[in-house]
């Protein structure tokens, strides 16, 4: 189970990192034409973001190979949400609402419950 948690966490970190690179390139951009999209796609940050997200998918496959689908997917998605929330707060100055924090606590509780109930 610890390996599945490790790989799910690594998946989430790489996935959010790739998305954050793409988001950082979108600052002050308006995507209104095909030219806007194409010029965005070939920037260094966006290409790096795509590569990192692809790498995160490979890590996710590894996690799936180690544990049951019904454990890995909720675990990986929960960790992904937690890291996304932190990334938005620290790197993009997004505000955290009470409902976001409550949801974060519920996700963390769910991850702990899944981990404790499926030790192998």
Dump pLDDT digits (tens) for 81-106.
999 999 999 999 999 999 999 999 99
Q: Residue 114: its pLDDT value, please?
A: 79
> pLDDT tens-digit profile of 31-56?
899 998 998 999 999 999 999 999 99
Domain total in the chain = 1
CB atoms within 10 A of CB 73: 15
Three-state SS across 48-84? HHHHHHHHHHHHHHHHHHHCCHHHHHHHHHHHHHHHH
Q: For the chain, give the mean pLDDT.
A: 91
- Domain coverage including residue 74: 2-117
pTM as predicted: 0.86
Q: Residue 120: its pLDDT value, please?
A: 52
């Amino acid at each position: 189970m610890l390996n599945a948690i490790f790989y799910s966490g690594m998946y989430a970190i790489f996935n959010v990192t790739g998305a954050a690179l793409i988001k950082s390139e979108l600052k002050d951009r308006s995507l209104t034409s095909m030219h806007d999209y194409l010029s965005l796609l070939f920037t260094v940050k966006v290409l790096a973001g795509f590569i990192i997200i692809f790498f995160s998918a490979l890590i996710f496959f590894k996690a799936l190979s180690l544990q049951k689908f019904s454990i890995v997917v909720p675990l990986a998605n929960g960790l992904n949400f937690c890291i996304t929330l932190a990334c938005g707060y620290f790197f993009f100055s997004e505000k955290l609402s009470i409902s976001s924090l409550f949801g974060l606590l519920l996700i963390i509780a769910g991850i702990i419950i899944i981990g404790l109930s499926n030790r192998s």
